[in-house]
Structure 1
């Protein structure tokens, strides 16, 4: 309720008012129906006795009932309109809450499959469940108002009639409540399989994957896996549906029997003259609508249970623990001291061995370090620790003499310009693709051009039809696709957007470039990194050899370190790797 109130107070109050009115009007319409029938019977008797009868006593009730039904129709329409408007706003609010929460969580949490299942689960029903919970609550209130007003009229017939009305609907309620819990538990348990289905859909329909899927002839196997997963999920759905509806039908017969027992009771009383024809009509309408209201109320309660289970998942997600940013520094204790790793170690959750262990290194302003090692040796993990996407399990990382955890996150990240190996190809314009590197200058064309010149992307951008306004990618109309090397220059330009960044991190920055372009990039790079700290990851030794200091990682540990000439002279692992790569150019 608080969630809906915070979304739109006006719509919420409108729903409450419309619910109250819609709850009172059916009883009033039933009472007017009795008056119409009794007035018609009285008029028929007068007509039989006198040869004529006044019509106004009948017509006034007809007009009143018409007005009530028109008002009821308008109220129901108001409920529908307000529901539709609130559904959109509430869905947006809940999705925003989910996405905002996601920005406060650590990268390690996103890499946990159980957490990701929870995230997918709450997002999938974010736009429907919260409003359904509120509408069922208001529907329950509406039905209770109807039942109270019906009860006031039915009690004149017999208090036992009310008992019969409620008892007849209880079996259906118990069945619905039981199967609602089963449905939610089934939905929760198979979240990983549902997510796998979505992933297969992406593989079969996304431009990034479709070319490889087609060339390898992988589609039939994927489709079969998709069908098998669907068949398994459908079998579970089918069993639950058959059980739910089977039991519901059986229990529904008990409710029908209760209604017709009451029906017979009312008819017999009318035949014996204990109630009038109009009262008989009213009581039958009250029983029919009352039974429907009781069933709806009990179904709403079981539905509230199921929706409440969903909201439990939502609030569990929103309550996911967040590592508080306790950092407050914007300037280090020893400016100019650079970066230091002191006995740093990190282990991924559930991993059998550390990803990094006993890492000690120092990077001074104006100097560069290159990280070399086989895949999985810990190079990218080290970068994620440096950018505080991860926190070390042991040791500490210092920037200008102060622990990285003591730095204010915004101040720290403004000092870092980074290009990851798996950089994002945004389906935005060229300028926005570059501007994302510094959101403070996201819409600044002058800064785009300066960064593109430094990243060696300016020449090909100026050759595009719309220059920096060119839409990139094929997802949207008018989009233009770039080559791998051109995309890499865009990503490199993105790193140059941060003028204040004195730490440049380059993870395979030239892997998609030809040798001539790579040489030009590094020549240009050396001219624009004066006074900055540079950390480079590359498998190309033509790039690595120019670094001031080279660190060779193996299984998360530092195996060798030194300048290129020192490592070659030592004849160790680095020298072997360099010789292997050099043979390919001889």
Structure 2
């Protein structure tokens, strides 16, 4: 796909000025980051904008003063008397140049500090927004593209926009100052100045828009590149990469994506620079036309030598100031385009969770699913008309093939998803009405795809209850319930051992040990009365599995427990077993009752038991 095929605006520069609506928001963001530095930027900008014109005007006085002094010195014997006024002007110009340099240094220092502070602030805004998004939004590829664009570009754009805004103000002030001097020569000189700079500006604005549309178009490909980088450079994927010989295949795909993207970028860059060079010649021609005009006026005696020097400097610096102004406007336009990515992401609608219930309407009623169905956006239903009731002290086992909807049902229980039909109740109150923290404090869960945090052992447990994140006694109790304390105590640094290979002295665990850490993490929620285990022993041996479930039954006597497992030896003791197939409950009952009914459960049980005979 070439840039010519990238969707373009219906009319040239349509919406050019409308896109600047983000400028005020960026300025507000910088003000919130550091009001003092923003005031400092304004002061330095004013100084750096006004003083160049003053220095140029004093330069004219120096040249004319030197010429006058040369004539006066011929009739006077006192050199100091003649030259002193000129030396004072030289000293004044030197002081002004020093102030300009100081202002420029001040601008540079404050911009550098603000870059770090603002980058951090914007990244925090992006991550805070991520915390408000629902799980289904995270599973939306389009939203992931928005997140990628926001993180890769928009975090640096606000300061860039502010810097260009102040650069525009500085050069606009300089331009006005130069214009006051230049109009004394001829108003036509101002028109030549503008005519020379305008074509390059129009070209840059046009290609900035093309570059932005190319950037948006290539987001999915850029994200695929990032994914391939991760697969080829992460310890949790490198085993299969090496075993299956995927290095060359994935690396070639990585190269192909770069080649395709670089081809588009190369074409756009060459077109942009070629047009910029050609149109830039117009500005050069305009400058030398004005140059010749000023020289001619000096030769015929209309201008003094000092005035000629001043006007040449004014025109040259004025042209630079105007070009810088237009470049800043073009850059601001581009930054505003990229900032639209940031605010498009930050303004992504989220579901407001306004629940206030902390105690259910019917305490002790337990957990109910009432005719619950669920479908992913744009997809078919994955759960159909699910109804069940789990009372305190009871255990429930979910059995079914992979993809039958078991884990989706748990995500509805934990309010990671909301039902598309029906409702889920806890103690007689709809989960939507519960205060989020109160609800999730009552649930201890280990998912099949649990996270392996690159943190210390104790912190890996502590994430299960942030209120006890650093409580070492709670770590020890949770590890004991999850049968992780045995191998943790054998580590050199115990609960303070760094896990994973990302950081220095990190220690990797076996799959079964990681699963015990995740299980212990669920036990961190000591007040939870709903325990959910999703394939909690898939990586454990038979002895470890038996010990885990013995401890689990001991710990969960007065709690509601939900177990998902493909191993029938672990689910047979549950008071209620539900068999799910393609999102529907097809059987329910005790282990013995389901065997006697000789349905799907009995068939699967006998099939698995046959493997042990």
Question: What range describes the TM-score normalised by the shorter chain of this pair?
Answer: over 0.9
Aligned mate of 1:245, from 273, 279, 289: 273
Aligned residues: 585
CA contact (8 A) 1:95 1:126 kept: no
1:450 match: secondary structure: helix
Tell whether 2:220 aligns with 1:192: yes
TM score, norm. by length of structure 1? 0.99
Q: Which of 319, 336, 356 is the matching residue for 1:308?
A: 336
In 2, Cα distance between the equivalents of 1:557 and 1:191?
38
CA deviations over 1:522-543 (Å, ceiling 9, x no partner): 0111111011000111111111
Q: Match of 2:50?
A: 24
Per-residue CA distance 1:217-238 (angstroms, 9 max, x = gap) = 1110111111110011001001
Task: Show the 5 A alignment for 1:458-537.
Answer: 458-537=485-564
Deviations 1:365-389 (A, max 9, x none): 0111111111110011000000000
Aligned mate of 2:408, from 381, 384, 405 = 381
Q: Distance in 2 between matches of 1:268 and 1:575?
A: 106
Classify the secondary structure of the residue corresponding to 2:369: strand
Number of the residue aligned with 1:39: 65
Per the alignment, residue 412 of structure 1 pairs with: 439
Q: Does the 8 A contact of 1:345 with 1:355 survive in 2?
A: yes
Question: Which residue of structure 2 lines up, in the alignment, with residue 171 of structure 1?
Answer: 199
Deviation at 1:561, TM superposition (A): 0.9
Q: Does the Cα contact within 8 Å between 1:87 and 1:127 map onto a contact in 2?
A: no
1:266 is aligned to 294
Which of 217, 236, 243 aligns to 1:208? It is: 236
Instruction: Kindly indicate whether the alpha-carbon contact (under 8 Å) linking 2:146 and 2:344 is maintained by their aligned counterparts in 1.
Output: no
Of 122, 130, 133, 1:94 maps to 122
After TM superposition, give the deviation of residue 55 of structure 1 in Å. Answer: 2.2
The corresponding residue for 1:354 is: 381
Cα distance in structure 1, aligned partners of 2:602 and 2:74: 120
Structure 2 residue aligned with 1:566: 593
| Whole-angstrom distance in 1 between the partners of 2:602 and 2:108 | 74
The answer on whether the counterparts of 2:42 and 2:166 sit within 8 Å (CA) in structure 1 is yes
**Contact 2:154-2:338 within 8 A present in 1 as well:** no
Per-residue deviation, 1:49: 4.3
Q: What is the deviation of 1:50?
A: 4.2
Name the residue aligned to 2:113: 85
Query: Offset of 1:46 from its aligned partner?
Result: 2.5
Asked if residue 182 in structure 1 is aligned to residue 210 in structure 2, the reply is yes
Corresponding residue of 1:457? 484
Structure 2: distance between partners of 1:191 and 1:154: 48
- Give deviations 1:203-251, integer Å, cap 9, x for gaps: 1111111121111111101111111100110010011101111111111
Q: Which runs of 5+ in 1 are unaligned?
A: none
CA displacement, residues 314-367 of structure 1 (integer Å, 9 cap, x when unaligned): 11211111111121100011111100001000001121x211001011111011
* Runs (4+) off by over 4 Å: 49-52
Structural mapping, 1:378-457, within 5 Å: 378-457=405-484
Is structure 2 residue 105 aligned with structure 1 residue 109? no
Measured in 1, the distance between the counterparts of 2:496 and 2:122 equals 33
* 1:299 CA drift (Å): 1.2
Deviations 1:157-213 (A, max 9, x none): 111111111121100011011011111011011100000011111111111111211
Task: Give the alignment of 1:329-344 within 5 angstroms.
Answer: 329-344=357-372
| C-alpha separation in 2, matches of 1:309 and 1:411 | 42
Task: Decide whether the 8 Å contact of 2:135 with 2:416 is kept in 1.
Answer: yes
Q: What secondary structure, in the 3-state scheme, does the structure 2 residue paired with 1:530 have?
A: coil
**Deviation at residue 61 of structure 1 after TM alignment:** 1.5
1:35, CA displacement in angstroms?
A: 1.4
Q: CA deviation at 1:32?
A: 1.5
Structure 1 position 7 matched with structure 2 position 33: yes
Aligned partner of residue 279 in structure 1, secondary structure:
helix
Distance 2:513 2:157 in 1: 45
Provide the residue aligned with 1:557 in structure 2: 584
**Distance across 2 between alignment mates of 1:59 and 1:543:** 97
Distance in 2 between residues matched to 1:43 and 1:543, nearest whole Å: 106
How far did residue 38 of structure 1 move? Answer: 1.1
User: d(CA) in 2 for partners of 1:525 and 1:515?
Assistant: 15
Q: Does 1:218 align with 2:246?
A: yes
Matching residue of 1:145: 173
Alpha-carbon contact 2:33-2:117 (below 8 Å) kept: yes
Aligned residue for 2:381, secondary structure, equals coil
Distance 1:432 1:192 in 2: 35
SS at match of 1:300: helix
Cα offset for 1:62? 1.4
**Counterpart Cα distance in 2 of 1:289 and 1:202:** 50
Would the aligned equivalents of 2:444 and 2:532 in 1 still touch at CA under 8 Å?
yes
**Secondary structure in 2 aligned to 1:55?**
helix
